[in-house]
Structure 1
Amino acid sequence: MQLKSIKKSCAINFIGALSLVTLSCVAQANEPVDWSGQYAGVALGVVAGKVNPTVEATDGNYFNTNNLSDLKSTFSQDFSDNDVSATFIYGYQWQQENWVYGLETNLFVSNFSSKKGENAHVYENTPTISYGYSERVENKFGISVKPKVGYAFDNMLINFSVGPILSKFKYTFNFNDSNSTTDVSSEYSDSKWALGVTTGLDFNYKLENDYVLYASYMYTYYPDVVDGKSGLNASNFTWTDEFKHDASFSSHTVSVGLVKYF
């Protein structure tokens, strides 16, 4: 009986010691590496942008009043496109146990250009006349400053960020109808700096020598990328009708890259 008790006591002590060793190993494996300090890098990706325009004609002395709603619904249809992008990254982080806080600046560069239009759209209430039009929005670069908060485990770090973003947009609009007696047209072009908001989620995997594999998803929204008016042009005629131009822009960007901590 005493031998069994000794064996049982030894088994319990062995299981306890094994458990402590296992927990110690798990704790050591889950202990995050140091993510504090400065870092910089570059990432390449794909941006999917969407334009949500609101373009309407005023009730002047050229357009048939009954056609105004048709013009607005035609011009105000959403349009989108995709393009490649590059992101230049610089930031600073500080760490408290597994929690990581930071501030990051991103410079975005792309060749985004999205266009829609028609060559011969018949007026709803004036079927003898048709019009052509085109709208284009371009976005080449932008810069953001984002506070970040993340959680680190092992040599991995997941960050969430949100902050303002400033980008340069170019908007172009062209209109022309088939009324040969007046040759009515309208052109409008504008370049504008627009302020928006960006939010993102990024995944970081630290390699040797403080290099980090970086992957991110980013959503941006700009409530006002164009705000202007354009009139009608025609030889020997003075038309009082105008087009009012307004548009918002949103995008989704997925990118991967390499970051260096120093």
Structure 2
Amino acid sequence: MTDHFKRAVRGAAIFVSLATAVPAFADETTQNWQGFYGGIALGGAYSAASPDTEALTSSYFDAEDKNQLAPVLHETIEGFDVTGSALFGYDYQDQNVIYGIEGDLTFMPFSETESHGPETFTSNATVNFTSQTTVETDVTFSIRPKIGYAMDDWQVYVSAGPSISRFKTTHKYNDTSKAQNHVFTDTRTAFGVSSSVGAGYRIGNGWSLRGDYVLTYFPQIVNGDANAETSGVIDPNADFSYDSDFLSHNVRFALIKRF
């Protein structure tokens, strides 16, 4: 999870460095980009949850079971989705340099499942297990301060800021011993960070076209533990520990109106 977060932060830092490295010379013919604006965007996103779920060494799972279950529980849950966004913000222009802030409400119907099994435990050839994990999310809201550079009818910019979303994680585990129809469900409001880089072109009468790339990262979308022995619980200690992050890459095209 920390590697994903570090890459997201490094990417945002690189984008900001590139923007501030552009020579800030004045261009008298630069168009006025200042003011409030709103728009809609359509895009496509590749997103992935990376579970760090663990089977714990307990009275139910031994160390050999834990090692066998680890790659199953750590399988990446990924998918591609069509996205729609409502955008609103304000830009302030100082000669060619633009400073602003943007709100971004993005709809992304992510609902993906990874299933495994039935597989036989190496520690007990008489017991088979299956595992299925589903991650769901619909809406993400972000607020990103931004900095840009205007060149006549063109504007390029970078931005970074906090994000919030709601995630539902469901894990189903069954084996032919005692853990029959075990279901763990966690619904959580998660906080993350997003960064973007984009370019816009004015087409007249306050309208502009824009394309951008948005990277969004949530370091923790689930956190909990559960006991696998659903058929007559014997040991109150947890048999599973749940954790996961979530990373989304969204490429969009937008129609913007300035007021």
Sort the TM-score into its range (normalised by shorter chain). Answer: 0.7 to 0.9
Q: Deviations over 1:24-47 (max 9, x none)?
A: xxx999832100000000001111
> Is the counterpart of residue 192 in structure 1 residue 188 in structure 2?
yes
1:178 CA drift (Å): 2.1
Match of 1:77 in 2: 75
Give the match's secondary structure for 1:66. helix
Match of 1:45 in 2: 43
The CA RMSD measured in Å over matched residues stands at: 1.8
Distance 1:225 1:111 in 2: 16
Letter in 2 for 1:229: D
TM norm structure 2 = 0.85
Match of 1:205 in 2: 201
210, 234, 240: which one pairs with 1:243? 240
Distance 1:30 1:150 in 2: 17
1:167 CA drift (Å): 0.7
Distance 2:190 2:179 in 1: 34
Letter in 1 for 2:247: S
Task: Say whether the 8 Å CA contact 2:60–2:239 is kept in structure 1.
Answer: no
Distance 1:104 1:193, change over 3 A: same
Match of 2:130 in 1: 132
1:251 CA drift (Å): 0.6
**1:87-98, aligned counterparts within 5 Å?**
87-98=85-96
Task: Say whether the 8 Å CA contact 2:166–2:190 is kept in structure 1.
Answer: yes
Q: Deviations over 1:143-187 (max 9, x none)?
A: 1110000011020101100000011111110000123xx353421
Give the match's secondary structure for 2:146. strand
**1:172-187, aligned counterparts within 5 Å?**
172-179=170-177, 182=178, 184-187=180-183
TM norm structure 1 = 0.84
Q: Deviations over 1:74-128 (max 9, x none)?
A: 2012221011111100000010111111010000111111210113022233233
Letter in 1 for 2:86: F
Task: Say whether the 8 Å CA contact 1:105–1:144 is kept in structure 2.
Answer: yes
**Identity of paired residues, percent?**
29
| Matched positions, count | 234
Letter in 2 for 1:41: G
> Is the counterpart of residue 58 in structure 1 residue 70 in structure 2?
no
Distance 1:152 1:237, change over 3 A: closer
Structure 1: 5+ residue runs without aligned partners?
Answer: 1-26
Task: Say whether the 8 Å CA contact 1:115–1:135 is kept in structure 2.
Answer: yes
Match of 2:32 in 1: 34
Distance 2:97 2:110 in 1: 36
Task: Say whether the 8 Å CA contact 1:202–1:215 is kept in structure 2.
Answer: yes
Match of 2:166 in 1: 168
Distance 1:121 1:214 in 2: 49
Distance 1:78 1:183, change over 3 A: closer
Q: Deviations over 1:172-228 (max 9, x none)?
A: 10000123xx35342111111111110101111111111011111000111100001
Structure label with greater radius of gyration: 1
> Is the counterpart of residue 226 in structure 1 residue 222 in structure 2?
yes
Letter in 2 for 1:102: G
Q: Deviations over 1:53-90 (max 9, x none)?
A: 01112222222332111112220122210111111000
Structure 1 runs, 4 residues or longer, greater than 4 Å off: 27-30
Distance 1:248 1:132 in 2: 23
Letter in 1 for 2:224: G
Task: Say whether the 8 Å CA contact 2:27–2:95 is kept in structure 1.
Answer: no
Give the match's secondary structure for 2:53. strand
Distance 1:245 1:28 in 2: 54
Task: Say whether the 8 Å CA contact 1:113–1:137 is kept in structure 2.
Answer: yes
Distance 1:188 1:236 in 2: 16
Task: Say whether the 8 Å CA contact 2:225–2:238 is kept in structure 1.
Answer: no
